[in-house]
Chain A
Amino acid sequence: MRDRLLSGVTIMLTTLIGVVAFLYPFWLPTLAASGTGVAHAEDAPVLLTMIVGMSFVTLLLEAQRAAEHALLVALLGVLVAMNAILRLIDVALPLPGGFSPIFVLIILTGYLFGGSFGFLMGAMTLVVSALITGGIGPWMPYQMLTAGWVGLSAPLCRWPIRALGDQGSRAETLLLAAFGALWGFGYGAIMNLWFWPFASGPLDQHYQAGIGLGAIIQRYLAFYLTTSLIWDVAGSLGNALLLAAFGGPILRALRRFARRFAFVIRPESAGEPL
């Protein structure tokens, strides 16, 4: 019970930090305009990047508990390899917009094996595909964190699926497809924000007198409509289509193996591994 409480508190804290840090371009200039925190607003991007890094380390250490047994380490390693190849296809072929096949396995494993496993699946997929393509960049920690969130949040589908129908029902696949469609937009919108601290520079150099929250949101909307909307629609539709078409058979295969991977010898005090 205490173990689950600690996990819950850690996940909530890191999510709150992530939301505050990713949305800082919206609230910081407003705060500067009100005069309360303007004295140190210029070091905010560095401090927020640092706190995102710390919360990522915390979340990774917390989720790492899902990979403490040889069975789960091997399962994660092999599934991550498969997902990294799917990402290679995404990089190599001219797929439309933000369409990427990697989220199918991230969402399904998160839904089936738990949030920690899903988080590791998302984060590790991005690391491995970056390593094999040489695509290490400043976006990587943000991609890892966001793809991790996709897997971490997948167990949220369990309750509505239980309410709508049983395992293996059509409702299960459709709900997971809708969840994937939502994350298609969510992933794009969050990833738009990673370069703001670098693109905008120190606050005293881009801050515009009189600019309010409304104007900043309007500017972001203009940016989103012109650069991202079509891209994210493709990502969202791709997730939904792939999950609707392949989600059911993949879930059946994973469920069959889940029983075999759940065989773990461990001390009496510990809970279920999956």
Chain B
Amino acid sequence: MNPASSPALHPISWVAWLAVAISAITITRNPLYLLLILLALALVAEIERPAGRTRPIDPILFAAFAVTISGLFNAVSVHYGDTVMLRLPASWPLLGGPITLEALAYGMTNGLALGALIAAFAAFGSALPVGALLRLVPRAFYPLAVVVAIAVTYVPLTIRQARQVREAQQLRGHQMRSWRDGLPLLLPLLIGGLERALQLAEALAARGFAAARPPERLRLLLAGGLASAFAGVLLRVAWGQDLVGAALILLGAAMTLAVLYVAGRRTPRTHYRIYRWGRYDALALGGAGLALAALLLPWPARQSLFYVTYPTLRAPPFDPLLATALLGLLAPLLVRLRPRVNAKSKITKGSQ
């Protein structure tokens, strides 16, 4: 298992891997490929889970739940498809009509996609410790990263203070008989927290903390970029103006990125821990790249991705080559083959 503070892969490699996993789940509705992706991602999530940490959500159990609920809901709400299993009385509001096998299968496929999505994020969340996730925050959001860092640090302190407040109130005879009795616990906790915030602010100010306010021209540029991109999306999607729409979207995206870059440059940041790129990053990115190429390149097997249960249910196609390429998403697990020496991240002082 990973040591909690040093991920074996560069955080950016994990972001790229997550993007490919989401793309795969979004592009295909073939249940065989979706099942394969779900199992692969759940395996990565399970192996990357640090020892001793409980699963916030079990991807396989969630997928089973989502497949059942989504299948049933689609079956009773979409009365379309050739294979009628039973008919509900037409007089039943919203639900009445034929219940078809195709609608049931389509709903179950959607549930499978949701389960795979949960598995992808479970793997991402398991693989990266909080410190590495905070490093992914763009420099333009430096004050917010400080807020998150303070909050994460203060959570255990606040829990300890809550216990102390409870014990003090119990000594005074306070009993929790209903939810209304929570106030004598909540108020001292809030007031104590606010007092601590004042002390912390003094410490921050004494160490020279100051966040630069973004200049007005940057805010104007950001709002302009957003308006441009929004106009582009509407033109492209609603009015079919492909070229003008795409140009406006690109312009808006470029303006937003430029603002983030300029705002970030105003906030220099140094790092305690340096993450370096290594050959396992190349392997993980290579595996994800293989899966992405199989999904996007125009080759004959790609047709098997596009499967729909309507109007008559038939067996979904399956291409072994494409399935093998999708297993490229397992590539981050190759890190487990490395010698047990922590060579990927070095604790050195300096800047990246």
Residues B150 and A77 in contact, CB atoms below 8 Å apart: yes
For B78, what are the chain A residues with a Cβ–Cβ distance below 8 Å?
Answer: 208, 219
Residues A137 and B94 in contact, CB atoms below 8 Å apart: no
For A73, what are the chain B residues with a Cβ–Cβ distance below 8 Å?
Answer: 143, 146-147, 150, 201, 204, 209, 211
Residues of B248-268 contacting chain A, CB below 8 A:
249, 252-253, 256, 259-260, 263
Residues B151 and A80 in contact, CB atoms below 8 Å apart: yes
For B88, what are the chain A residues with a Cβ–Cβ distance below 8 Å?
Answer: none
- Which stretch, B229-237, B280-288, B312-320, B333-341, touches the partner chain A? B229-237
Residues B147 and A51 in contact, CB atoms below 8 Å apart: no
Q: How many A-B contacts are there with CB distance less than 8 Å?
A: 282
Residues B125 and A78 in contact, CB atoms below 8 Å apart: no
0 or 1 for each of A18-62: is its CB under 8 Å from B? (1 = yes): 001000000010010000111111011111101100110110111
Measured CA separation A64–B146 after assembly (Å): 11
Measured CA separation A36–B245 after assembly (Å): 14
Residues of A232-265 contacting chain B, CB below 8 A:
241, 245-246, 249-250, 253-254, 257, 260-261
Residues B226 and A13 in contact, CB atoms below 8 Å apart: yes
Residues B117 and A58 in contact, CB atoms below 8 Å apart: no
Q: How many residues of A contact B (CB 8 A)?
A: 93
Residues of B38-95 contacting chain A, CB below 8 A:
53, 56-57, 69-70, 73, 76-78, 80, 94-95
Measured CA separation A77–B229 after assembly (Å): 33
Query: A73-B150, A199-B114 in contact; A138/B155 too (CB < 8 A)?
Result: no
Query: A39-B242, A198-B113 in contact; A257/B155 too (CB < 8 A)?
Result: no
For A69, what are the chain B residues with a Cβ–Cβ distance below 8 Å?
Answer: 201, 210-211
Nearest-neighbour CB distance to chain A for B301, whole angstroms, equals 18
- Which stretch, A124-132, A154-162, A165-173, A175-183, touches the partner chain B? A124-132
Main secondary structure of the interface of A (DSSP, over half): helix
Residues A201 and B29 in contact, CB atoms below 8 Å apart: yes
Name the one of B133, B147, B155 contacting A124, with C-beta atoms under 8 angstroms. B147
Name the one of A6, A48, A84, A132 contacting B219, with C-beta atoms under 8 angstroms. A6
Interface residues of A (CB under 8 A from B): 2-3, 6, 9-10, 13-14, 16-17, 20, 28, 31, 36-41, 43-48, 50-51, 54-55, 57-58, 60-62, 64-65, 67-71, 73-82, 84-85, 120, 124, 127-128, 131-138, 195, 197-202, 205-206, 208, 218-219, 221-223, 225-227, 241, 245-246, 249-250, 253-254, 257, 260-261, 270
Would you list the 8 A-B pairs with minimal beta carbon distance, nearest first? Answer: A77-B150, A81-B154, A70-B204, A74-B201, A78-B197, A80-B151, A136-B125, A74-B200
Interface residues of B (CB under 8 A from A): 22, 25-27, 29, 53, 56-57, 69-70, 73, 76-78, 80, 94-95, 106, 110, 113-114, 117-118, 121-122, 124-126, 130, 133, 140-141, 143-144, 146-155, 157-159, 162, 179-180, 182-183, 186-187, 189-191, 193-194, 196-198, 200-202, 204-205, 209-214, 216, 219-220, 222-223, 225-227, 229-230, 233-234, 236-240, 242, 245, 249, 252-253, 256, 259-260, 263, 306, 308
| Sampled A-B contacts (22; CB under 8 Å) | A6-B220, A17-B230, A28-B237, A36-B238, A37-B239, A58-B223, A68-B211, A68-B212, A70-B204, A74-B201, A76-B147, A78-B194, A80-B148, A81-B154, A81-B193, A134-B56, A134-B126, A219-B77, A222-B94, A223-B73, A246-B182, A253-B190
